[in-house]
Amino acid sequence: MRVIEIVAYKFDELSEKAKQKAINQERENVDTAFIYDDAHKTVEAFHEIFGTKEGRNSWLDVRASHLDDNLMNLKGLRLRTYILNNFGSQLQKGKYYSLWSKTEMSYKHYKDGYPVLKSKHSKVLFERECVLTGMCYDDSLLQPIYEFLDWKLRPDYNTYMDFETLVGDCFASLTKDVESEAEARSEEAALIETITSNGYEFTEDGEIYNEQ
């Protein structure tokens, strides 16, 4: 039998060389798979609405050439009108709100001594946040379409935009945001925050210490 004593250090107590080793170890453990999994669900919902398909080389590419010529030949304001008429209800949802019942003084509108709070989606006010799957990647993918529909934000879109170009812009937007998020999780500042917030401990040379 022997007793081994180990001194455990917090990240801020390490030498600069040991800190760098600790950071590199944490970088190797970064998991970005969930980012791509969530984004893929957004893509699948997009295809279901618009009838587009995954690219042959990657699900982050898109194919639209198989769609009806009546859609593919539309441009500018005519395309905008078509999208609003055919997909508008799926690109926005009634704003969710709640209100106290107007008849809350009636005992019928009380439960356990408290007035009933009514909740519903507006039929007049709409919002566009995360309408496909409820995840932030919905906004990344749909942003070019929203800019196209809000033609005052992008008046240049209305002079040339066709459907194939528009959905291509959508997937370029999603790809940029997904890759940026994945890269951000491997940046040194993000890794240090993970290390310190989790209270990791290390040996003097920066090797993470796992107490058995």
Give the three-state DSSP class for 208. strand
| For range 22-35, the mean pLDDT | 93
Strand-pairing partners, residue 114, are: 111
The domain ranges of the chain are 31-92+128-185, 94-126
In this prediction the pTM is 0.76
Instruction: Assign 168 a pLDDT band (cuts: 50, 70, 90).
Output: very high
122, amino acid identity: S
77-93 pLDDT tens trace: 899 999 999 999 899 87
130-158 pLDDT tens trace: 899 999 999 999 999 999 998 776 676 66
Indicate if the pLDDT at residue 102 is higher than 60: no
**Bridge pairing between strands 93-100 and 62-63:** unpaired
Residues ≥6 apart with Cβ < 8 Å to 165:
none
What confidence score (pLDDT) does residue 103 get?
A: 45
Give the three-state DSSP class for 61. coil
What confidence score (pLDDT) does residue 152 get?
A: 73
